[in-house]
Chains A and B, each alone.
Chain A
Amino acid sequence: MSVPREEKGRVIPISAAPSFDDRQSPADELADHLARLLAFLRRRVTGDYEVDEFGYDAELTDKVVLELIRPLYTHWFRVETVELKNIPHDSGALVVANHSGTLPLDALMLQVALHDEAGRPLRLLGADLVYQLPLLSHLARKTGHTLACREDADRLLRKGELVGVFPEGFKGVGKPFSERYKLQRFGRGGFVASAIRAGVPIVPTAIVGAEEIYPKIGDLKTLARMLGLPYLPITPFFPLLGPLGLVPLPSKWMIEFGEPIRTDEYEPSAADDPMLVFNITDHVREVIQQLLNELRLRRGHAFPPFL
């Protein structure tokens, strides 16, 4: 065979003749594109960009990091969002979501969802382990996240940012596959107190799909303790297949944002009332569990159309 296979069946589209007044010619568009890219590179190389006091580098996040994880969002997990209208357009709010998946990919997907579909940068509150690890710590800061502590949460909410929190923490993200979609205990309710102090609504959020990406069927507890990690998972493919086992399974994802729970009817001093804080925390937890159950049914198979 002398002609390569692709050559034989290739269709060359016939486009309309370029007009002068209509739009820019492809060459101009390309030049524009290149100019923007060069300007971007120039800014990066000369350090001429802004980071906020938390270390958030919006340009790097939008133009590089999110671009890199977006294929995972659209093609691998085919994430669908429901009830985006519950995210405020420009004011502060606290997004409270379930946490799962052994590796916190749900945090990344939530960030893409809110950036692309609500136009808002998400500022997550992360565990202190993240900020002790090299690479991860500064990547987390550069993409807008910070340590889960009262001062940082209050500061971000006061500035009208959209703050995200996973109150289950490691208990949620590291739970075994058999306990999937069962919400774990919700910390000490510090996130509720922060929302009350800032008077911002709490948006209960359910993420369905992350549970199936790395089904955790075992835990190398001793090794994890030696490495200072909260857990070291065994999945059907890890560590059996080595690095290949780190490829997440392509489950179908859905993210639903629930009706906001208002906190502005309380005085800021109500944040110091433990009973009230516990009650609201329980309420938020129940709402998320309910959202999760409904959304899971609505999604159907985790790996459509087969399983």
Chain B
Amino acid sequence: MTHTVLVTGVSRHIGARVASALAADPDISRVIGVDTVPPPSLTRDGGISLGRTEFVRVDLRSPDIAQVIAAADIDTVVHMSLVSAPSKNGGRAAMKEHNVIGTMQLLGACQRSATVRRVVVRSTTAVYGSSPRDPAVFTEDLEPHEGPVHGYAKDAAEVEGYVRGFARRRPDVVVSLLRFANFMGPGVDSPLTRYFTQPVLPTVFGFDPRLQFVHEDDAVEVLRRMATEDHPGTYNVAGAGVLLLSQCARRAGRPTLPLLSPAFKVLGGAVRRIGLVEYSPEQVRLMSHGRAVDISRLEAELGWKPKFTTGAAFDDFLRSRGLRPLGGVRA
């Protein structure tokens, strides 16, 4: 059977890597990549080769996406186009519109389509929130005590709602919803990776959160398998184990600056306005209470374990940025 795969969000790192991994698969006849901006140039901006991916510039918020899906007889949709931080010129409103309205348009187009057989949606473990009242380790079917009320996490929770609605209306389509922990790796550029490359790491006084990362290679592999095999359901995707924030800072050889949580918020707002780093309210909560997820459902479904543990993923990121602990390399 020939496959035609649509990948959204190919102009960003993970999306581009997924598109190129799918393009390298001989069983897939066509890979169509869409995004609102063209992919970064290979030579100038260090973009990633998309292989034989055909790029179409589409604004997901517009109904144009339906035409792309109809015209190309797409049978698999990999929806990666979730923005985790507001862009400098767009702001939060544009980000929300991109995430939520974009997903609605895409799912609406899929619902109409007679050819789409499989939909894979990227979500985030941020939908579990971070709270002192929640269990230490989240499984997929756990209802968080306090759901996300801000930013990216709220968008993701809304997106998940639409995805579940779509799955109900089109039971014949295989829907996989993937909740990724924070991406980590040499090519990842996220608020969290930017945070760890600062000279001094502000932390919330009296709290040492548990953090969990997924290595970009593992994320790409999970997405590739979800796009080529049937694995309906919701899955957490993370590297095994956790790292404490203090442990991350020590491994990175960066001093921490503990701030009382109101000060942390004020400082966060200030640097956000300058556009340096993102300190959203949900990030402050993460920096206080942390979050860890259970990945046994994914491991059982795929019969596969992520190659990188959380610690190994972080170490790989540190190596690529030339960060090392005080006194050289770890034993």
B139 at the A interface (CB under 8 A): yes
Contact A45 B325 (CB under 8 A): yes
User: Known contacts being A51-B242, A55-B136, A138-B206, is A42 close to B331, with CB within 8 Å?
Assistant: yes
Contact A47 B325 (CB under 8 A): yes
B306 at the A interface (CB under 8 A): no
Q: Mark A34-74, 1 if CB is under 8 A from B, else 0.
A: 00000000111111111111110100000000000000000
A49 to B205, CA, bound (A): 22
Q: How far is the CB of B209 from chain A (nearest CB, A)?
A: 8
**Which residue in chain B gives the minimum CB-CB distance to A149?**
B135
A285 to B66, CA, bound (A): 65
**Which residue in chain B gives the minimum CB-CB distance to A150?**
B135
**Which residue in chain B gives the minimum CB-CB distance to A57?**
B244
User: Known contacts being A46-B250, A47-B250, A48-B331, is A137 close to B133, with CB within 8 Å?
Assistant: no
* Chain A residues proximal to chain B, CB less than 8 Å: 42-55, 57, 128, 131-138, 141-142, 146-147, 149-152, 155
Contacts of A53 in B (CB 8 A): 136-137, 210, 241-242, 292
Q: Which of A46, A51, A135, A138 contacts B327 (CB 8 A)?
A: A46
Q: Which of B134, B135, B242 contacts A55 (CB 8 A)?
A: B242
Contact B325 A151 (CB under 8 A): no
Contact A128 B330 (CB under 8 A): no
Contact A54 B137 (CB under 8 A): yes
Q: Which of B136, B242, B330 contacts A46 (CB 8 A)?
A: B330
Contact B251 A47 (CB under 8 A): yes
A147 to B131, CA, bound (A): 11
A-B contact pairs, 9 of them (CB 8 A): A48-B331, A55-B244, A55-B290, A128-B132, A132-B132, A134-B205, A137-B207, A141-B136, A155-B135
Contact A47 B247 (CB under 8 A): yes
Q: Mark B123-147, 1 if CB is under 8 A from A, else 0.
A: 0000000001111110100100000
Q: How far is the CB of B103 from chain A (nearest CB, A)?
A: 29
Contact B210 A55 (CB under 8 A): yes
Name the 4 nearest CB pairs between A and B, nearest first: A134-B206, A47-B250, A131-B132, A151-B135
B302 at the A interface (CB under 8 A): no
Contacts of A131 in B (CB 8 A): 132-133, 289
Contacts of B246 in A (CB 8 A): 47
Contact A48 B207 (CB under 8 A): no
Contact B136 A147 (CB under 8 A): yes
Contacts of B247 in A (CB 8 A): 47, 49, 51
* Chain B residues proximal to chain A, CB less than 8 Å: 132-137, 139, 142, 204-208, 210, 241-244, 246-251, 261, 289-290, 292, 311, 325-327, 330-331
Contacts of B326 in A (CB 8 A): 45-46
**Which residue in chain B gives the minimum CB-CB distance to A155?**
B137
Contacts of B210 in A (CB 8 A): 51, 53-55, 141
A157 to B76, CA, bound (A): 41
User: Known contacts being A51-B242, A131-B289, A137-B206, is A45 close to B135, with CB within 8 Å?
Assistant: no
Contacts of A147 in B (CB 8 A): 132-136
Contact B135 A152 (CB under 8 A): yes
Q: How far is the CB of B299 from chain A (nearest CB, A)?
A: 14
**Which residue in chain B gives the minimum CB-CB distance to A45?**
B326
Q: How far is the CB of A146 from chain B (nearest CB, A)?
A: 5
Contacts of B331 in A (CB 8 A): 42-43, 46, 48
Contact A45 B132 (CB under 8 A): no
Contacts of A52 in B (CB 8 A): 241-242
Q: How far is the CB of A52 from chain B (nearest CB, A)?
A: 8
A52 to B311, CA, bound (A): 12
A54 to B210, CA, bound (A): 8
**Which residue in chain B gives the minimum CB-CB distance to A54?**
B136
Contact A128 B133 (CB under 8 A): yes
**Which residue in chain A gives the minimum CB-CB distance to B240?**
A53
User: Known contacts being A45-B327, A135-B206, A152-B137, is A51 close to B132, with CB within 8 Å?
Assistant: no
Q: How far is the CB of B67 from chain A (nearest CB, A)?
A: 46
Contacts of A47 in B (CB 8 A): 243, 246-251, 325, 330
A128 to B261, CA, bound (A): 19
User: Known contacts being A151-B142, A152-B135, is A142 close to B330, with CB within 8 Å?
Assistant: no
Q: How far is the CB of A24 from chain B (nearest CB, A)?
A: 24
Contacts of B206 in A (CB 8 A): 133-138
Contacts of B327 in A (CB 8 A): 42, 45-46
Contacts of B242 in A (CB 8 A): 51-53, 55
Max chain A CB contacts within 10 Å: which of B135, B210, B246, B311?
A: B135
Contact A45 B207 (CB under 8 A): no
Contacts of B292 in A (CB 8 A): 53
A268 to B189, CA, bound (A): 46
A142 to B136, CA, bound (A): 12
Contact A152 B136 (CB under 8 A): yes
A141 to B244, CA, bound (A): 11
Contacts of B204 in A (CB 8 A): 134
Q: How far is the CB of A140 from chain B (nearest CB, A)?
A: 10
A52 to B135, CA, bound (A): 14
Q: How far is the CB of B189 from chain A (nearest CB, A)?
A: 23
Contact A50 B136 (CB under 8 A): no
Contact A138 B207 (CB under 8 A): yes
Contact B207 A46 (CB under 8 A): no
A116 to B289, CA, bound (A): 30
A43 to B231, CA, bound (A): 41
Q: How far is the CB of A122 from chain B (nearest CB, A)?
A: 16
Q: Which of B135, B139, B208, B251 contacts A138 (CB 8 A)?
A: B208
